[in-house]
Amino acid sequence: MFSFLIRRVLQAGLVLLIVGFVAFSMFNFVGDPIDNMLGTERTQADIDRLRAQLGLDQTFVVQYWKFLANAVDGNLGVSYRQGRPVAEIIAERAPATLELATVSALFAVGVGVLLGIYTAIRRDGLVSHIIMSVSLIGVSLPTFLIGILLIYLFSVELDWLPSFGRGEVTDLGGWTTGFLTSSGLKALILPGITLGLFQMTLIMRLVRSEMLEVLRQDYIRFARARGLSEKAINFRHALKNTLVPVITVTGLQLGSIIAFAIITESVFQWPGVGLLFINAVQFVDIPVMAAYLMLISVMFVTINLIVDILYVAIDPRLRS
Amino acid sequence: MTLLHIKDLTVEYPSRHGVFKAVSGVNLTVEPGEIHGLVGESGAGKSTIGAAIMGLLERPGHISGGTIAFKSKMINGLDATAMQGLRGKQISMIFQDPLTSLNPLLTVGEQLIETISLHLGLSRDAARQRATELLDRVGIPDPALRLRQYPHQFSGGMRQRVVIALALCSEPDVIFADEPTTALDVAVQAQILDLIKDLAQERQVGVILVTHDMGVIADTTDRVTVMYRGKVVESGTTAQVMSAPNHKYTKSLIAAVPRPKIKLKRFSQISYGGRDTRFAIEDIARNWNRVETLLDRPLLRVKHLEKKFPIAKSIFPGRSTYLTAVDGISFDIMPGEVFGVVGESGSGKSTIARLISGLYPLDKGEVEFAGQIVSDPRKSEAVAQFRRDIQMIFQDPYSSLNPRLRVLDIIAEPIRHHKILNGAALTKRVHELLEQVGLGAAAAAKFPHEFSGGQRQRISIARALATQPRFLICDEPTSALDVSIQAQILNILKDLQEHLGLTMLFISHDLPVVRQMCDRVAVMQKGRLLELQDTETLFANPQTDYTKELLTLMPHLEGLSDEGLEI
């Protein structure tokens, strides 16, 4: 168990190192920031001075080493566009994205698992058939379209929920949260559903098919032959066995909820890191892009590490 | 008082192609303390009777006629709640495969305690106490510790004991045991059957023991009912049915049982029900253009084979632990010989087959075939020729054929690989092979799932013969088959050996089968070769204690009818 954990952590470190290299390479290969930062009336002296200031005059290896050392220190460089430290900008924006991601992940997992179990147990019921058909629509509609439809229905026509922004936020020492005000909570609903809908249908379909598979197993038949109640069979015996494959996919999906929040954030003008990234791309703001890349990969790697640990927690066969 | 009385039971499965009667007009009774055997081949409807008793028939199956009475009370047609009160509480069930009948994610204790508190209404502590007693009763040492362990930490036999303990939780009156020992080793099988016998006597439990193994029936049951295609063909006391069977089907079943005591020339096949048993060995022999020339030297020599498997990996190679599956084994096999390897599961029998055929790389040792070293992958020419000369028949006819390929492609694959034939000649060759193994050329266009277990094993044989090999490795080729089908397949293998002079490595845990098939036998235990003898010498005069023990565990089959045997 311990050696397994160490191995996984080492692997995670390697992945981060490679991503760091890719992120760093952007500095050298994605255009020249000097062009963007200085106007057309620059002199060679200006260029040299800025180059030295940004450390771009040093060799590749030295630059890479400095980049890594700084990144570990939490210093992700200075945004070319805003002239402020990238770490500060991201810290400002991250709460918005993380809160949105949390809400949609809870929505996706909670509703997805429940509907999955329901449609598996009542396999031939009318409600199950309706849920399954509707879920197909959820999978096939693109995120931005769902967002726009929801805005049209709930903001424009019914005027129940806000169509953009985070509403009122409370500042908790550097972390701005929308969970504490009613307008903040209201503002989370539509983007939360938009972002989580696809994952929700995916998880639901996965739980359903896994559950159907598990219900066919001998140990379920044996449990039934021992006279156990349907409740004990479905929730105690079947559900836990369903979880192992579900967790894998769910873990990967949660990562993509954060990574692909960009579209939802654009549709809802959500002031998160996704929107920040889009703006950075438009301006070739390489430090921001590199930091975003690193941030996402750290999240993916962490989530996968947690998934691996959860596996071991759920399945005793992996412990020995 | 009769515990269970089944009268004129009929179970139907309606489908688009009409109604399928899985069970029709079956009568069966179980008295307290009696073990009633239910025998027949797969698909005869044995398990369906169990599902019908338990009220667990899979939809759309249903009881369309007859009655099931438990202690003189009708129980078919009870509503779901009443049935659930009966199920497990008064009638318990034991399933065939102990590896799949326990929930892998809950400890054995959790599963036992859950069931005990449900049925006996005990507190958690009292239920735990009871669970410990039950594990002790079914012969699991150290029960208090074992309660905290998960199913995967138990061996197959121990798991089946846990399953029996679970079935006993509620102190039932009737146990329906569905092939409880089929998946187990001989030694473990004997222990489990003894346990069931003890329970029946001690607690006056009535047992229905479903099996396709006549040995189990003969040694364990008091009464026996023989089923064929959903109908009872014969029923009576075990002694009477075994020694003087009336029905032709029963006779065919008994005649097909491999005898432990005498060596027969061939397995007798009293065919019943018009099944196709044709195997055109003369045809094959006529087209066989390889004659075994080498006669005085061993065809296969195996020297100091060794193979380890890692069981716990560590980042430091020195700290990983290994299981030595094959530990320094050497033997020679002469041309035309059938060389048997016996031993219980985990003894390394199958690993040897895989090492010789090159499916596993060797850790140490050497394999020599027809004078050439073939265990060295650098000698690619010798290895390629060897691969053509050696073919394998596997145990499980279901997983050893690719379900996505047509039979034509399955059999053609080795021919294509070794570039022996192609185009129309290849198709013609495959059709011939299928005709010869008794399946007919039309089988080429079908997929494996359209065939029964025995037919699939014939496809495997056709595939193995496709390259005209000199050496066949048969790894438990019949242990997944019904006894009458087993007799057919074993006769085919005998024919191949006699008419084509094929040399065989025959791996089995079934000693009576080995006695009928092999010239010499190697006994293996824990990766080591304990004893190597001529078959008859080994059976008459075993040298090691382990071999003696294995021989005493064989089914005795005293008093079996001799009708139709070719001695």
pLDDT tens digits, residue range A140-195? 888 788 888 888 888 878 878 877 777 777 777 777 777 777 777 888 888 888 88
CB contact (8 A) between residue A317 and residue B102: no
Question: What superfamily does domain B4-255 belong to in CATH?
Answer: P-loop containing nucleotide triphosphate hydrolases (3.40.50.300)
Angle at B43 between CA B37 and CA B45, to 5 degrees: 50
Amino acid at residue number B397: P
> Which residues of A fall within a CB distance of 8 Å from B107?
316
Work out whether the CA dihedral A172, A176, A178, A179 comes out positive or negative.
negative
Encode pLDDT of B538-561 as tens digits: 999 999 999 998 888 887 777 777
Q: Where does chain B hold its CATH 3.40.50.300 domain(s)? A: 4-255, 281-406+468-553
Please report whether residue A108 resides in a domain: yes
Residue B274 has pLDDT above 60, yes or no: no
Instruction: Mark yes or no for CB contact B103/A241 under 8 Å.
Output: yes
**Sign of the torsion angle spanned by Cα atoms B469, B473, B474, B475:** negative
Nearest chain B residue to A226 by CA: give it: B88
Helix axes B483-500, B248-255, angle to 10 degrees: 50
Q: Is the pLDDT at B93 greater than 60, yes or no?
A: yes
Give the position of tokens 């129940």. Answer: A160
Taking contacts as CB-CB distances below 8 angstroms, the residues of chain B near A240 are 105-106
Rounded to whole angstroms, how far apart are CA atoms B79 and B83? 6
Give the residue among B452, B410, B448 at the shortest CA–CA distance from B276: B452
CATH homologous superfamily, domain B281-406+468-553:
P-loop containing nucleotide triphosphate hydrolases (3.40.50.300)
Q: What is the pLDDT of residues B25-79, one digit of tens each?
A: 999 999 999 999 999 887 788 889 988 998 888 878 889 888 898 888 888 777 7
Helix (H, G, I), strand (E, B) or coil at B206: strand
Q: What is the mean pLDDT of residues B292-317?
A: 78
**A37 belongs to a structural domain:** no
Q: Which pLDDT does position A68 carry in this prediction?
A: 78
Which DSSP symbol is given to A168? S
**Interatomic CA distance for residues A189 and A100, integer angstroms:** 9
ipTM over 0.90: no
Alpha carbon separation from B492 to A92, A222, B254, B451, B458 (Å, rounded): 78, 38, 19, 18, 9
Domain for residue A62, yes or no? no
For range B387-392, the mean pLDDT: 92
Q: Which of A294, A301, A300 is nearest to A77 (CA)?
A: A294
Residue of A nearest to B169 (CA): A226
Find where tokens 């941030």 sit.
A295
User: Would A28 be classed as within a structural domain?
Assistant: no
Å from B107 to nearest chain A CA?
A: 9
Number of structural domains (chain A) is 1
- Three-state DSSP at B442 gives helix
Q: Rounded distance, CA B177 to CA A160, Å?
A: 62
Residue B204, sorted as left (phi over 0), alpha (psi -120 to 50) or beta, turns out to be left
Nearest CA distance, B497 vs chain A (angstrom) = 40
Q: Percent of chain A at pLDDT above 70?
A: 94
Give the span between the Cα atoms of A274 and A78, in whole angstroms.
Answer: 18
Rg of the Cα trace of chain A? Answer: 24
Name which of A8, A10, A122, A219 to mutate to probe chain B: the one with the most chain B Cβ atoms within 10 A of its Cβ.
Answer: A219
Q: Tell me the chain A residues in contact with residue B320 when contact means C-beta distances shorter than 8 Å.
A: none
Give the number of A-B residue pairs with CB atoms closer than 8 Å.
85
- Least-confidence region, from A36-45, A264-273, B108-117, B517-526: A36-45
CATH code of A149's domain: 1.10.3720.10
Residue B450 exposed, middle or buried by CB count within 10 Å (0-12, 13-18, 19+): exposed
- Collect all residues of chain A within an 8 Å Cβ-Cβ radius of residue B54: 225
> What is the distance between the alpha carbons of residues B105 and A143, in angstroms, rounded to a whole number?
37
Please indicate whether residue B294 or residue B559 has the higher confidence score (pLDDT).
B559
Specify the range with the lowest mean pLDDT, choosing from A189-198, B75-84, B459-468: B75-84
Which residues in chain A have their CB less than 8 angstroms from residue B95's CB?
218, 221-222, 225
Please tell me what DSSP assigns to residue A169: -
Provide the domain limits for residue A185: 86-318
| pLDDT > 90 fraction of chain A, expressed in percent and rounded | 5
Q: How distant, in Å, are the alpha carbons of A99, A152, A265, A269 from that of A147?
A: 18, 9, 10, 11
Tell which residue, B484, B533, B539, B532, has the closest CA to residue B516: B539
Chain B residues with CB under 8 Å of A221 CB are: 56, 95, 101
Phi-psi region of B328 (alpha: psi -120 to 50; beta: other; left: phi over 0): left
Task: Say yes or no for a CB contact (<8 Å) between A236 and B114.
Answer: yes
Q: Note whether A3 contacts B104, CB cutoff 8 Å.
A: no
What is the C-alpha separation between B438 and A277, in angstroms, rounded?
69
Dihedral, A44, A48, A54, A57 alpha carbons, nearest 10 = 130
What's residue B317's pLDDT?
Answer: 62
Q: Which two tokens stand for residue A240?
A: 């836990």
Lowest mean pLDDT among A154-163, A220-229, B455-464: A154-163
Whether residue B382 contacts residue B388, with contact meaning beta carbons closer than 8 Å, is answered with no
- The C-alpha R_g of chain B, in whole angstroms, comes to 25
